[in-house]
Amino acid sequence: MLNSLRDVLNDSVRDLYSAETQLLKALPRMAKAANDASLKEALTAHLEETREQAARLEKAAELLGIKSKGKTCLAMKGLLEEGAEIMGEKGSPAAKDAALIVAAQKVEHYEIAGYGAARVFATILGEDEVASLLSETLGEEKAADEKLTGIAEATVNDEADAEELESDEEDDGDAEEETDEDEDEVEDEEEAPDVKKSAAKNSKKPAAQRR
Ligand code: FE
Ligand code: FE
Ligand code: ZN
Ligand code: FE
């Protein structure tokens, strides 16, 4: 029953606990499915954090005098089903990594919303210790989200894009720049003609800097 702000806080803590425990089971699979090393690392690191986050919620439940278990977060269930759907797809490693990042960031945003609101309610209710536990996790979720954005920008999306270019040449006229170079080759052999080289430089990072 939801009659008071306290009921809402209690409910939120239980919902978040369910979300985190579901995530504990899913993150190892997601890390295993990731191809990019930095993505794998990020998901594995977040698994460690998630264990702590679940423990913090147990502590918060104890402070509030409620049981942490007993609720199912349906939103996390759905988000993780989408993640599983991506992992089950066939396709290129880089494109699948990019899709995995989308799924993982949706999870983080859900958590950020949940922790953000619950922290406000805990503060209003004078539950300062609970508020500070929630706040600590909120910071980690935001950091995890930003880390994923960084990985998307630095590596994965670049690779997915490059694969795309390799497989179809019809583009907007500057497909020229990509023609000869194999993705994995280091560009140290012969000086390419100046024009071509600077064009490539302006539009894309050199292949050697991509992962
Ligand atoms: Fe979490
Ligand atoms: Fe939920
Ligand atoms: Zn999380
Ligand atoms: Fe998280």
**119: nearest Cα among 102, 148, 96, 142:** 142
Residues with CB under 5 A from ligand 4 (ion): 108, 141, 144
pLDDT of residue 199: 40
pLDDT at 168: 53
* In a shared domain, residues 81 and 107: yes
Q: What pLDDT sits at residue 135?
A: 98
Domain harbouring 155, CATH code = 1.20.1260.10
Domain edge (last residue) among 164, 181, 197: 164
HSE (CB half, 13 Å, CA atoms) of 205?
A: 13
Q: Work out the mean pLDDT of the chain and round it to a whole number.
A: 84
Ligand with smallest separation from the Cα of 53? 1
Domain-ending residue, one of 127, 143, 164: 164
Same domain (yes/no): 62, 23:
yes
Residues 22 and 41 occupy one common structural domain: yes
Q: Examine the fold and report which residue of 132, 149, 164 is the final residue of a domain before the chain moves on.
A: 164
Poorest-confidence range of 2-6, 101-105, 194-198? 194-198
pLDDT, residue 104, reads 98
Mean pLDDT lowest among 19-23, 60-64, 104-108, 160-164 = 160-164
The pLDDT of residue 22 is 98
Q: 132: burial class by Cβ within 10 Å (0-12, 13-18, 19+)?
A: middle
Q: Residue 144 C-alpha to ligand 4 middle, in angstroms?
A: 6
Poorest-confidence range of 108-112, 151-155, 206-210?
206-210
Q: What is the pLDDT of residue 186?
A: 42
| Total domains in the fold of the chain | 2
CA of 88 to the centre of ligand 1 (A): 24
Given a cut of 90, whether residue 204 has pLDDT beyond it is no
Query: Based on the domain organization, do 24 and 124 belong to the same domain?
Result: yes
Check pLDDT > 90 for residue 196.
no
145 and 44 together in one domain = yes
Q: Which ligand is nearest to the CA of 113?
A: 2
d(CA 82, CA 65): 34
Higher pLDDT: 183 or 149? It is 149
One domain for residues 128 and 156: yes
How far does residue 108's CA lie from ligand 3's centre (Å)? 5
Look up the domain containing 125 and give its range.
5-164
Give 117 Cα–ligand 2 centroid separation in angstroms: 12
Question: Percentage of the chain surpassing pLDDT 90?
Answer: 72
With a CB cutoff of 8 Å and minimum separation 6, the contacts of 187 are: 181, 206, 207, 208
Residue 174 has pLDDT above 70, yes or no: no
Q: What angle do CA 70, 73, 75 make, to 5 degrees?
A: 170
